[in-house]
Amino acid sequence: MDEQRLERALRQGPPFAAGIVPSLTLDEQPLVRGPVGVGRLVLILAVTALLLASLLAGLATLGAFRVQFPPVSNGWVAFVADGDVYLERAGVAARRIIGSDTDGLSQICPQFSRDGRRLAYGEADGTAQAGYHDAALVISDLDAAGNASVSLRIDVGGTFAPPCATWSADGRRVAFGVPRTSPINPDRSGAGSEIWVVTVADGHVDVLPELLATDLEWSPQGSHLAISSGQADPVRAEVRDGSLRLYEADSGETRTLVGPSGVGSLTWSPDGSRIAYQRGGSDGGGMDQEIWVIRVDGSRKYLLTQRQFGSIYGAGPVWSPTGDRIVYQRMKSAGTEAHDVVLVTPDDGSEVVLPDLRLPEDAATVSWRPDSVTWSPDGKELLYTAWVSGRPGRALIVRPLDTRSDPAVLRDGVTGGSENRSWGRVPDE
């Protein structure tokens, strides 16, 4: 298994068994299609008002793969290089704020709280190549100059990759998956895997047992955590679920919003009333994936995408901050690593397939392949983590929605996928 496929397997979690997608019920009718709307571009994490680009955080092991971004951002970018966390912004050179050349630790998944005052990241001894142990979730306070000081450490242990946490909108909590199941072996029991919800003020941990998280995302308002998860099948002793659940942190109650159907990733609408989710019988490599939308109260569920597709890269669907588009990635054809980036309108299902990404200096034969794509906070740009076949490494590329502006490389030679970087705002003095 090559590096990109292994990273993808760690991001996506275990494949779900074919044949578990239930037949449509009366409230699951396909959406009536309208005319194709004007396309808008998309990208991973929050961007700055200065660069108007966005970056994501967190090596997507299991759970919490999408970073919440601040509604306003003025420039700080946290990213991972060689297992350490760096900070930079326009006009200020990148500098390492977490880690050293000799500490033997790997840090991943830096993620800003919405107010930009704190940074959560995963940490463990060792490396992905040599093996991890003694994982922990660390939260550091940041001052206006970007200096970090550890304020909370939650020891997780284990021999899996460091956790990748997601912040609640109010900054009171973080949640992450603890995958005590092999992320690349779907036939191993999911028993023992957990989701941890941490109250930042006192470090209290609420454990949601027997859940193998494939995606976690907090509601834009309130204390609801949406969970896509495989759960141990008590008969087969295998991961045979893929449900969508809602956990209410204040009450501690969990309810199932979508039953077992191979749900693997999700995204909230900006107003918090709906969730779009990707589901299918395979782990994404089969051409059986679909995107559905459901109201949080369960009152309506409908098929959004016009056809089934495959997707071995990407973070699943990502709702735009303006609420009028959802971006997702799909394979151009079965058995290829090349993906299209697609914008779909959640209210009428119309789609726009974006042209392949090329930089102004590229030869006509060069085409960047998107590893993941998401929105800028204002919805005006996309940030790609992308690569070119035969060329080592990945690059972070901003693609403006305004077609009169050219795409531009923010950083070349980045570590891992786009989930390993995050935009934040500078805390007030």
Interval 261-304: pLDDT, tens: 889 899 999 999 999 999 987 767 789 999 999 999 998 999 99
The enclosing domain of 139 has a CATH number of 2.120.10.30
Contact indicator for 136, 154 with CB cutoff of 8 Å: yes
What distance, in Å, lies between the first and last C-alpha atoms of the chain? 48
Interval 151-208: pLDDT, tens: 999 999 988 889 999 999 999 999 999 987 654 444 444 567 899 999 999 999 999 9
Mean of the pLDDT values across residues 391-399?
Answer: 83
Is 345 domain-assigned? yes
Is 74 domain-assigned? yes
Is 429 domain-assigned? no
Query: CA–CA separation, 157 vs 135, rounded Å?
Result: 5
Contact indicator for 352, 37 with CB cutoff of 8 Å: yes
Q: What confidence score (pLDDT) does residue 212 get?
A: 84
Instruction: Flag the least confident range among 42-51, 286-295, 355-364, 403-412.
Output: 42-51
Q: What confidence score (pLDDT) does residue 55 get?
A: 31
Percentage with pLDDT > 90 across the chain: 44
**pLDDT: which is higher, 227 or 232:** 227
Is 140 domain-assigned? yes
Is 234 domain-assigned? yes
Structural domain count of the chain: 1
Is 64 domain-assigned? yes
Exposed, middle or buried, 297 (CB in 10 Å: 0-12/13-18/19+)? exposed
Interval 343-380: pLDDT, tens: 999 999 999 999 999 999 988 888 899 988 888 777 88
pLDDT beyond 50 at 324 = yes
Containing structural domain, residue 97: 3-424
Query: CA–CA separation, 114 vs 134, rounded Å?
Result: 28
pLDDT beyond 70 at 8 = no
Mean pLDDT of the chain: 77
Is 288 domain-assigned? yes
Q: Which two tokens stand for residue 140?
A: 């550091």
Per-position b or e across 219-240, b if 16+ CB within 10 A of its CB: bbeebbbbbbbbbbbeeeebbb
